[in-house]
A and B are shown apart, each in its own frame.
Chain A
Amino acid sequence: MKISRSEVEHAALLARLQLTEEEMNQYTEQLNSILEHAAMLDQIDTGNVSPTAHAVQLYNVLRDDVAQPSLDQEKVLQNAPAAEQGFFRVPRIV
């Protein structure tokens, strides 16, 4: 086993996913099968290999530091599940 049931529960918490018992069991099994397949990468010596950062190399993509127009507040909020006085409204935090 590459990944235990409690590690799956921890990943679900990190991912903010409410999973059912059945999903927990199913994902534990399926993630193990995928990770066992991925374990074949350990066969390769990558000691002197740099990780890929870009498929096509680009460096320091910057634009001039000048303010540009952005979306109107009304447009930004039009898809919000709840909005009030120009803000996104969310459930109580504290």
Chain B
Amino acid sequence: MEVFNKTIDDLHTLLVEKEISCTELTRGYLKHIRQSEEKVRAFLTVTEDMALAVAAKVDKKIANQESIGILEGLPTALKDNMCTEGIKTTCGSRILRNFVPPYNATVTEKLQEAGAVLLGKLNMDEFAMGSSTENSGFFPTANPWDVERVPGGSSGGSAASVAAGEVPFSLGSDTGGSIRQPAAFCGVVGLKPTYGAVSRYGLVAFASSLDQIGPITKTVRDNALVLNAIAGHDPKDTTSVPFHKPDYTQFLENDVQGLKIGIPKEFFGRGLQPEVEKVVRQAIVTLADLGAEIEECSLPHMEYAMPTYYIIAPAECSSNLARYDGVRYGYRAEAEDMIDMFKNTRAEGFGQEVKRRIMLGTYALSSGYYDAYYLKAQKVRTLIKQDFDQVFGKYDVLVSPTAPTPAYKIGEISDPLAIYMGDVYTIPVNLAGLPAISLPAGFVGGLPVGMQLIGKHFGEGILYRTAYAFEQNTGYHREVPAWIKEVG
């Protein structure tokens, strides 16, 4: 059976109607993974035996006429920065290459409770620092649409695995665009929820005030179904917000009549590739044709978001990554004394991008520079947040490109600042803690282009409604890279 193009509802129906057993389904996906991994390399670990054991339990339940949940028995995979008890969690880093967590992340637990079958752990830029998955400490992942190109990052494995049909859904994490940009590059749907909507407990920390876990799926409905399973307050995460969690599928209305959509002009400026702009402008016309009210608006401090982010994120990173000292877990380099052991462990264990950010953050937080860099950046962050508060007084949703270009070639960009610029439209959203979704909006030269929808705090519902209406009236989500059909 072909598995690459199935939605969550399709798979659930197949299981409930006993057209396929969960074991057969799991084996089907494992076979597809084996074949497609020759090209894509999205997985760092495949957990075949554990997956088949879970599948057998689901089959037993079905045989006993017990009802099963919507995600029960469905294959999934997690970005390798989410802790999985007894399963290696490397965070894409050599320093954690043998780390086996003694506990589960809350999202891991929630997916287990929902009965999902974990097929493995997915490649990423080391410690989620990067936008191409080329910074993985192990190997780069390829974009299923053109295997010479990057899948985006840092959740490159999460987006590529879904685009290649290796799993129907995965989880990624997003600190400055790490769910949305790879979703855009790989032609899939990626949501960064509101900060505090999904627990970060057991997510290996990068920049704690910005990090957020979210679903990557083929369709908007699938995305809402996965968010239903993972969102909610968690006492184990002090930044988790107690909020009323709705059933997100209730928002999936094919109707944007009267919706007020703002188009922030700062997101269509210098650096945006004209072909990408054309696709996104056309998508906005589609939304207008469907009855949404479109108006240009302004977020005057947006040009400061990049420099603000590249002070705050490295500062938090340098603090969070201080724990990798070769004492309690992870790699240790042997040395005569303690300080040398720390220094050598970290020098040998971390890759270039991680070291660069630790250095930048350490400097920005060091005595004499704290006020000039970190405090200043946190103040500008307030102004960026206020810009959003202001426009959301008038609009329900903001629309922009997700990234200024489609996927670039592996090895094509080496200047760090040039790579950072690729996150220019996604970073402001993290600084303000807002939810945003990237969904397929068209193609440029055979490569997917993503459109970003930004909402108010806890406004995931209206994002799903807008995205669903666009998806149902366009159909880009049905496109699949040609080679995958041959693999089957």
Contact = CB atoms under 8 A, between A and B. Distances in A.
A and B: real partners? yes
Interface of A: 3, 7-8, 10-12, 14-19, 23, 27, 30-31, 33-35, 37-42, 44, 46, 49-56, 58, 61, 63, 71, 75-76, 78-82, 88, 90-93
A69 B130 CA distance: 37
24 contacts: A18-B344, A19-B347, A23-B355, A27-B356, A30-B356, A30-B416, A31-B359, A34-B310, A34-B360, A37-B310, A37-B417, A38-B373, A51-B381, A52-B382, A54-B239, A55-B430, A58-B239, A63-B235, A71-B102, A76-B328, A82-B332, A91-B336, A92-B336, A93-B337
A38 B311 contact: yes
A5 to B, nearest CB: 13
Nearest to B367: A14
Would you call the interface of chain B mostly helix, strand, loop, or mixed? helix
Contacts of A33: 417
Interface string B193-209: 01110000000000001
Contacts of A14: 362, 366
3 smallest A-B Cβ distances: which pairs? A55-B433, A51-B378, A79-B329
B362 to A, nearest CB: 4
Given A14-B362, A41-B307, A46-B376, A79 B100 contact: yes
B432 interface: yes
A17 B347 contact: yes
B342 A16 contact: yes
A49 B379 contact: yes
Interface in B310-361: 310-311, 318, 322, 325-332, 334-344, 346-347, 350, 355-356, 358-360
Contacts of A40: 303-304, 307
Contacts of A71: 102-103
A58 B336 CA distance: 46
Given A12-B359, A51-B382, A78 B335 contact: no
Contacts of B327: 80-81, 88, 90
Contacts of A50: 379, 382
Interface string B435-474: 0000000000000000000000100000000000000000
Contacts of B433: 54-56
A53 to B, nearest CB: 8
Contacts of A42: 376
Contacts of B238: 58, 61
Given A34-B417, A41-B304, A78-B100, A55 B363 contact: no
B359 A55 contact: no
B241 interface: yes
B103 A92 contact: no
B195 A55 contact: yes
Nearest to A44: B380
A15 B373 CA distance: 17
A55 B379 contact: no
Contacts of A56: 194-196, 239, 241, 433, 457
Contacts of B336: 91-92
B380 A41 contact: yes
Contacts of B322: 16
B292 interface: no
B45 to A, nearest CB: 16
B218 interface: no
Contacts of A34: 310, 360, 416-417
B385 interface: yes
A49 B383 contact: yes
A27 B352 CA distance: 10
Nearest to A76: B102
Contacts of A7: 363
Given A23-B355, A81-B332, 10 more contacts: A19-B355, A31-B363, A34-B310, A46-B380, A52-B431, A79-B100, A81-B327, A88-B327, A91-B334, A91-B338
B377 A41 contact: yes
Given A15-B359, A34-B360, A38-B311, A49 B382 contact: yes
A58 B304 contact: no
